[in-house]
A and B are shown apart, each in its own frame.
Chain A
Amino acid sequence: MKDQHLLDYLHTFIDQNDCSDDQFNECALTLFSYQYKNNIPFQKYCLQKGKTPRTVKTWQQIPAVPINAFKELTLSCADPATAERIFMTSGTTQKVQGKHYHPSLSVYDLSMIRNFKERFIGAHEKIQMGILFPTEDEMPNSSLAHYLALAVRKFGKEDSQYFINGHGLELYPLMDKMEHVEKTAEPYALLGASYSFVHLLDELENMGKVYKLPSGSKILDTGGFKNKAREIELNAFYDRLSQYLGVHRKNCINMYGMTELSTQFYDDGNDVVPSHKSGPHWIRTRVINPLTGEDVRKGDQGVLVHCDLANFNSVSTILTEDIGIETEKGFLLLGRAKGAEAKGCSLTVEELFQARKGN
């Protein structure tokens, strides 16, 4: 492929142990120039914001592209028709799905593997895994399905297994497995979508089943819960996880990732929620005032902007709709910003869409 040396450069950058501020900046600006030149909708967006490679001097100045743009525009440097894989957003609320084009998954995979090894696998070489999510074959456009498949392929012992099929959770095979694991005293890892765990916990509660997975066992959940009072819900969630599966809350790791990114964030367990999330050296996060685009004061709430240097083909810098607070260790993720509740008596856009649906 024509951009082989950019890929080589990124591989080397990610393979480093760490990077200085200057190194990060240099890599981010190189990537920005490349994306500005090759991703035409992004170039237009930058011009509209009055930003070009000549005026952008730091990674913080790179225009952050709202995640909605992945729905409206084709954000790809390479010809999208040649993409090795397209990850799509779940698109539950709106019909249009955001598309993230990957001409090659090599950078994505490298980013995932290095980071996952460090933040989840740790001292283990491999661990036996149970996956509470459909397989990559079933969901070829899901970045999470790919992520989990990669986890199993790289770090899962041979008897690792999926426990979700077309009909949902395969409860009994999973229970058999956990009973077996309890006896062997071999560490076990359960990974999957947060709501699958809720489903599992509900079933176990109904049956009055409690497991105590062997020491060294871990849980990884991701995705969170929409439309719930988050903090209360999280506390209850992790309490129940440790109660029914016998995994201490500090070994329950939450992964925060997005289809629009190629790198994930993790916490160091959920003893206390909300937990501090952080990422590896090739991704940096700002907490901004969404209207001005400027950083909020440290400790204030703001909207998260991620600059992910593994996002080489789309855009490196993304404006999310997630609210967070910057901390010494990374950031606290406080959840999705909801549209403001209408205060006045003028109609809000959301209401309007509802009204029109009724017509």
Chain B
Amino acid sequence: MKEIAGYLPPGFGDNLDYQTLSFQRNEESIQITIPLLSENQISNLAAQIKNNSQRVLKLFTVNQIINIIDQTIAVFLDRSSPFRQKAEKLLPVITGYDKEIIRLGLTSYLKSFRKPQLYRFLTEDFNNPMLLDEFQPRPKGGFSKAVGLDLLVHIWAGNVPALPLWSLISGLIVKSGNIGKVSSNEPLFAGLFVKALVEVEPRLADCIAVIWWKGGDHARERSLWSQADGVIGYGSNQSLSSLREHIPITTRFLPFGHKISFGVVSKISLDSRKAIQTAHNAALDIVRYDQQGCYSPHFYFVQKGGRITPREYARMIGHELACFEKRYPRQSLSLAEMTANTAWRNREELSIFLETSKEIMSDPSGKWAVVYEENTQEIIPSCLNRVIKVVAIDDFEQIVDFVVPFRSLLQTVGLAASPQELFDISNILTKSGVTRITALGSMTSPESGWHHDGRFNLLDLVNMVDIEQRAEEYAERFAPYVD
């Protein structure tokens, strides 16, 4: 199977080089061809998109843009549309995730970009969304307008399909011109989305591009950085810090590094009736995209003293994972991933000799594993791909000690606790650096308008332009109708 990925403005098609990325899963294989622009071409593309951002995009009202996005999302939510069908067909081969995981994941994810959700998105950051269209009066006096950066460059990471939509849609809402670099792990979806978007509104055709180059190609990157007004980067801290070195100080850089997330289970949720559902939800957060998201759990802290002990609870999670494996099998792993996974497990298995209370439950063929620990001093994060640690705790304050080494890396907490505990635990965890607290079972689907890593989605992408009250007053003096 062959597929052309990426997106370039029409008329940009001369003398292009293409790069082919191959994907093979079991019997199916796909060759994805994606344009590889020269330094000059990148430079021209950037200039063109930057220009069109001013000339075309900025003339749309934010309402119009939201309508366009809403219609495009509707195309992808419609399972009979060719775009959706292509995504459902190709993404499992490209990413290795199970078909059903992709189908369910896409729908639940895309739903968060429909019109009502986009308005929520918008009002989360702007009390008055018209700020993006016109100068609006400010409570302090004067007027302000939010002007999106003219050229926004996105460096997307791989393995949760469709993830580029967050930043791409954010860029569109603030009327920025967008150039996205897809990851070679999943080069398809972003371009597909833009093609559908341009079908919905052909006037946007010259305002966006989705391309690829090999990360760290400084010559190509340099020709882009010199024109970009903002760069949003996703990836490892190592690749982000190397990006930062090369981005000019005048270009806004918004890095989203890798994160650690975890769950907390209170003893209140561990009676014989509720524990089954709690274990099911915990397993669900593990199974969705095999823990590849920044919001995916590495460990669960489980409180002692409930009817079900933490050890029993760990076994229940194991059972749930075994059940999920039948319905939604784990993605196939490369030999390198398998080796990393095995090395991690070996380390855990060997440590049992020193920590006798430790217990490891796993599938014989290595599809999932649960490591149970108590009385432990420090915890090592999971190797992912359906491997979870369950750590027994007496009280919630203990969690702080465990996670303190990862302070700058913490993100989501999935919680199973009573209403009173919800706020108690949230207060404790806030101190340790967590930025999102959600229900167990919802860790992998953040709400529309969430503050990704504690940041704003849209505010970071605009410059506020103020007309001060004094300017307004002063201007009055020069009105032709002044008395």
Query: Which residues between 255 and 281 of chain B lie within 8 Å of chain A, taking CB atoms?
Result: 256-261
What chain B residues lie within 8 Å of A303 (beta carbons)? 335, 338-339, 342
What chain B residues lie within 8 Å of A301 (beta carbons)? 335
Query: Which residues between 168 and 189 of chain B lie within 8 Å of chain A, taking CB atoms?
Result: 183, 185
A38 to chain B, nearest CB (A): 17
What chain A residues lie within 8 Å of B380 (beta carbons)? 349, 352
CA distance in complex: A355, B259 (Å): 11
Query: Which residues between 213 and 233 of chain A lie within 8 Å of chain B, taking CB atoms?
Result: none
What chain B residues lie within 8 Å of A343 (beta carbons)? 157-159, 183, 185, 292
- Asked if A68 and B381 make an inter-chain contact with CB atoms under 8 angstroms apart, the answer reads no
CA distance in complex: A47, B163 (Å): 44
Quick one: which of A302, A337, A356 contacts B336, CB cutoff 8 A? A337
A348 to chain B, nearest CB (A): 7
Asked if B248 is at the interface of the complex by the 8 Å CB criterion, the answer is: no
Q: Which of B72-80, B106-114, B343-351, B455-463 faces chain A?
A: B343-351
What chain A residues lie within 8 Å of B349 (beta carbons)? 45, 48
Query: Which residues between 315 and 356 of chain A lie within 8 Å of chain B, taking CB atoms?
Result: 319, 321, 323, 337-349, 351-352, 354-356
What chain B residues lie within 8 Å of A359 (beta carbons)? 405
CA distance in complex: A321, B384 (Å): 19
A255-298 vs B: 1/0 string, CB under 8 Å? 00000000000000000000000000000000001111000000
Q: Which of B55-63, B146-154, B202-210, B231-239 faces chain A?
A: B231-239
- Asked if A66 and B343 make an inter-chain contact with CB atoms under 8 angstroms apart, the answer reads yes
Residue of A nearest to B294 (CB): A345
What chain A residues lie within 8 Å of B302 (beta carbons)? none
Quick one: which of B256, B258, B289, B336 contacts A351, CB cutoff 8 A? B258
Asked if A79 is at the interface of the complex by the 8 Å CB criterion, the answer is: no
CA distance in complex: A343, B258 (Å): 10
- Asked if A344 and B158 make an inter-chain contact with CB atoms under 8 angstroms apart, the answer reads yes
- Asked if B339 and A340 make an inter-chain contact with CB atoms under 8 angstroms apart, the answer reads yes
B138 to chain A, nearest CB (A): 37
Quick one: which of A68, A302, A341, A346 contacts B292, CB cutoff 8 A? A346
- Interface residues of A, count at CB 8 A: 38
What chain B residues lie within 8 Å of A44 (beta carbons)? 352-353
Asked if A73 is at the interface of the complex by the 8 Å CB criterion, the answer is: yes
CA distance in complex: A292, B338 (Å): 9
A89 to chain B, nearest CB (A): 15
- Asked if A73 and B157 make an inter-chain contact with CB atoms under 8 angstroms apart, the answer reads no
Quick one: which of A68, A291, A342 contacts B366, CB cutoff 8 A? A291
- Asked if A355 and B237 make an inter-chain contact with CB atoms under 8 angstroms apart, the answer reads yes
- Asked if B350 and A68 make an inter-chain contact with CB atoms under 8 angstroms apart, the answer reads yes
CA distance in complex: A359, B338 (Å): 29
- Asked if A73 and B364 make an inter-chain contact with CB atoms under 8 angstroms apart, the answer reads no
What chain B residues lie within 8 Å of A45 (beta carbons)? 349-350
B393-415 vs A: 1/0 string, CB under 8 Å? 00000000000011011000000
Binding site for A on B (CB under 8 A): 157-160, 163, 183, 185, 234-238, 256-261, 289, 291-294, 296, 298, 333-344, 346-347, 349-353, 364-366, 380-384, 405-406, 408-409
29 A-B pairs whose Cβ atoms sit less than 8 Å apart in the complex: A48-B349, A68-B343, A68-B350, A69-B346, A73-B350, A290-B335, A291-B341, A292-B365, A302-B335, A303-B342, A319-B346, A323-B335, A337-B340, A339-B340, A340-B334, A340-B336, A345-B157, A345-B234, A345-B293, A346-B292, A346-B293, A346-B296, A347-B258, A347-B260, A347-B409, A352-B380, A352-B406, A354-B238, A355-B409
Binding site for B on A (CB under 8 A): 41, 44-45, 48, 66, 68-69, 72-73, 289-292, 301-303, 319, 321, 323, 337-349, 351-352, 354-356, 359
Given contacts A346-B292, A351-B237, 15 further A-B contacts (CB under 8 A): A44-B353, A48-B352, A73-B350, A290-B335, A303-B339, A339-B336, A339-B343, A340-B333, A340-B337, A340-B340, A341-B336, A343-B292, A346-B261, A346-B294, A346-B298
List the 8 shortest-distance A-B pairs measured between CB atoms, nearest first.
Answer: A344-B292, A291-B366, A337-B339, A290-B342, A343-B159, A340-B337, A347-B258, A66-B346
